[in-house]
Structure 1
Amino acid sequence: MNVDVDLVLVVEDEVLIRMSLVEDLEDAGLIVLEAGSADEALKLLDENPHVGTLFTDVNMPGAISGLDLARLVSQSRPDISIVISSGYLRMPKDELPGNVSFISKPYDIERVVKQIRGLARL
């Protein structure tokens, strides 16, 4: 399946953080879809097979966490780049699926964009 490296799915349950991140990513020239939960993200991924990057917070409401979402997507869609973010914890590299990177909050948007674009080139 061909992915669009400029199409990013942002999964963040905190509305203001999500709105700010979406605006910043769009200002950087990326196309952004947004979800407030991992469950909603899975539906959007099914509806949008060309998503190139998943950017998700760890702590999510609903049946699965952002980390679980990353694991599911990593297994089912290895063509998608994945970035996990959290303000509450650090993720040991061995706890992340192989193609997943971690950015702690608060994050610098330039670093986030650089990370997304860098992963897309792999």
Structure 2
Amino acid sequence: MTAKRSMKASAVLVVEDDDLVRLCAVEMLEDAGFTIVEARHADEAWFILHERSDIGALFTDVDMPGTMCGVTLAGRVHDAWPDIRLVVTSGRQRFTNGEIPNHGRFVPKPYSLDQVVDAIQHAV
């Protein structure tokens, strides 16, 4: 059974393999008041999700090294923790919101703080 997670008392898991892009995303979201947990790729994020119960949103890149891409990660997160909000980003691929599991959101790179915060707040 999965514990219900509240965005007010939860963290955003930022999954990005590019160190500079991840650093910028983390700083941007911390400045907006979010608590952040970082992962370099989907496999690391999957491990973190099993270790922590305070993740309320996933903000993941699509193209990463490892055994799964960000879209696969989002699908697996939806199946295991349907209350985690899903936001997917990419500079190479484009998705509609309808293609993101669980009524999540897609934000194209380069993105602004407003775009990411809006996506996190409006992901179901």
- Equivalent position of 2:42 in the other structure: 38
Structure 1 unaligned blocks of 5 or more: none
CA RMSD of aligned residues (A): 1.4
Q: 1:1-122 counterparts in 2 under 5 A?
A: 1-5=3-7, 6-119=10-123, 122=124
- Given residue 42 of structure 1, which amino acid in structure 2 is its aligned partner? W
- 2-structure distance, mates of 1:78, 1:117: 15
Distance 1:117 1:94, change over 3 A: closer
Q: TM-score normalised to the size of structure 2?
A: 0.90
**What is the number of equivalent residue pairs in this alignment?**
120
- 2-structure distance, mates of 1:76, 1:93: 20
Q: Which has the higher contact order (CA 8 A, sep 6+)?
A: 1
State the Cα distance separating 1:93 from its structure 2 match: 4.4
- Given residue 3 of structure 1, which amino acid in structure 2 is its aligned partner? R
Q: Deviations over 1:39-80 (max 9, x none)?
A: 000111111112000000000100111111011001111010
State the Cα distance separating 1:96 from its structure 2 match: 2.4
State the Cα distance separating 1:34 from its structure 2 match: 0.4
Percent identity among equivalent residues?
A: 43
Q: TM-score normalised to the size of structure 1?
A: 0.91
Distance 1:94 1:2, change over 3 A: closer
Q: Which runs of 4+ in 1 moved over 6 A?
A: none
